[in-house]
Amino acid sequence: MENLLNFKNIDKENLEKIIENILSINLKTLNQIDSITLLQFNESSTRTRLSFNVAAQLLGLKVLENQDAISARVKGEILDHEIDTYKSLGVETLVVRTKENNIVDYENFEDFSVISGGFGNSSHPTQALIDISTLIKFDKLSYEIPITYVGDLKHSRVFSSGRELLTKLGYKVGVLTNKDLLPDNLDNLHIFNSWEEVIKYSGSVELLRIQKERLKNLDGFDFENFINNFQLNNEILETAEKDFIVMHPMPINIGIEIDKEALNNNRFIYKEQLKLATKTRVVSYQFAYGEI
Ligand code: CP
C-alpha cells in the first residue's frame, strides 16, 4: 500500500506515470479492487469528497464515511486507535480532509494507505494532479514559461501541492498577490507585480480563493485593494494571447478573485478541470493499492 499525502515519497518517473494514466484512463474498463475505503472529511467539500466516492464505486470499492464530529474522536480517542478500528473493519484506504497540517501523523501505518483530500494549507495532491493534467491537455506545460498562481497563496493547499509537483517535475512557478497573502517560503518562485507582467510572461494562471475562514484578521482585510490590483476581469483577459488559460480549483468567490463577467470567458476552463476529477481519484486509488 502507498500513501498519497504529498509528493515526497513519489519519484519523478512515477509522477509522470500517474499523470499519463490520468490522461489516458478509460473509466469503462477498470479492474475491480475488492476492498473498503473510508472517506473522512472533517472540512466541507463537494468536488473532492464526491469524486473520491464515485471513483471508489467505479473500482468496486465499498465506501464508508466518517467525520470527527460523529466519531469517538470527540471523546478523546487517539488516531492510532481510530486506525486500528478501521483496519479491523477491513478498511485499507483512508481519504482525509482536515484543517490540520498533521500529515506526519498519517505517514507510517502498516498495510494501510492514507490519501490526502486536503490537509490545512499544506497538501491537496490530487487537485495538483488534476491541474497539471489539465495544463498538459491544453499544451501549457513548458520548462521556460511559469504557471502562475494568483490570490490567497498563504492559506492555499492547492498552491502548496501544485508548487511541489511542478517544481519536482522541473517546471517554473509564478505568483501574483499582495504581500500579506504570499507564502512564508518564497524559494524558486517568480514573483510578478502586476497582471500586465503575468500576461506577458505566463501562459496560464490558477486563481485561488481568498480563504475567509483562514484569514487571521478578516475584518482588517482590504478587499477593495485586492480587487483593484489582483482581480481578473475581461479587460485584462483581452490583452492575453488567445490560448492563455485560466484555472480555478473551486469553490470560487465571485466578484473577488474573478469578476462576474469573466466567468463566461472561454479562457476560463474550470469545467475541463472538473472532467479530470474522477479520473484523478481513480488513479490515486490505483496508486494507493500498488497498481501503478
Ligand atoms: N477543489 C476542491 O478541493 O473542491 P472541494 O472543496 O469542493 O472539494
pLDDT at 100: 97
Q: What is the best residue among 53, 98, 127, 250 to mutate for testing ligand 1's pocket, by most ligand atoms within 8 Å of CB?
A: 250
Reading the block at residue 281, the C-alpha cell is 481519484
109 Cα to the center of ligand 1, angstroms: 26
144 Cα to the center of ligand 1, angstroms: 30
Position in ligand 1 atom list of the atom nearest CA 124: 3
From atom 1 of ligand 1, which residue's Cα is the shortest distance away? 249
249 Cα to the center of ligand 1, angstroms: 7
Reading the block at residue 188, the C-alpha cell is 524558486
Is the distance from the beta carbon of residue 71 to the nearest atom of ligand 1 less than 6 Å?
no
Phi and psi torsions of 266, nearest 5°: -70, -5
115 Cα to the center of ligand 1, angstroms: 15
Is the distance from the beta carbon of residue 211 to the nearest atom of ligand 1 less than 6 Å?
no
CB 107 within 8 A of CB 3: yes
From atom 5 of ligand 1, which residue's Cα is the shortest distance away? 45
183 Cα to the center of ligand 1, angstroms: 20
Cα distances (Å, whole numbers) of residue 5 to 94, 96, 178: 11, 9, 29
50 Cα to the center of ligand 1, angstroms: 9
What is the residue-wise DSSP string for the chain?
---BSSSTTS-HHHHHHHHHHHHH--TTSPPP--SEEEEEE-S--SHHHHHHHHHHHHTT-EEEEE-GGGSGGGGT--HHHHHHHHHHTTEEEEEEEESS--GGGGTT-TT-EEEEEEETTTB-HHHHHHHHHHHHHTT---SSSPEEEEE--TT-HHHHHHHHHHHHTT--EEEE--GGGS-S--TTEEE--SHHHHHHH-SEEEEE---TTT-TTTTT--HHHHHHHH-B-HHHHHTS-TT-EEE--S---BTTTB-GGGGG-TTB-HHHHHHTHHHHHHHHHHHHTT--
Position in ligand 1 atom list of the atom nearest CA 44: 6
- Of 211, 206, 196, 152, nearest in space to 174 by CA: 206
Is the distance from the beta carbon of residue 48 to the nearest atom of ligand 1 less than 6 Å?
yes
Position in ligand 1 atom list of the atom nearest CA 46: 7
180 Cα to the center of ligand 1, angstroms: 24
pLDDT at 258: 97
CA distance 276 to 280: 6
From atom 4 of ligand 1, which residue's Cα is the shortest distance away? 47
Is the distance from the beta carbon of residue 249 to the nearest atom of ligand 1 less than 6 Å?
yes
CA atoms within 13 A on the CB side of 97: 22
Stretches where the chain sits below pLDDT 50 are none
CA atoms within 13 A on the CB side of 145: 15
CA distance 181 to 158: 14
Angle between the 125-137 and 157-168 helix axes, to the nearest 10 degrees? 60
CA atoms within 13 A on the CB side of 234: 7
- Please state the pTM of the whole predicted model: 0.97
**Beta strand 62-66 with 36-41: parallel, antiparallel or unpaired?**
parallel
- What are the tens digits of pLDDT across the range 1-28? 999 999 999 999 999 999 999 999 999 9
CA atoms within 13 A on the CB side of 136: 18
pLDDT at 217: 84
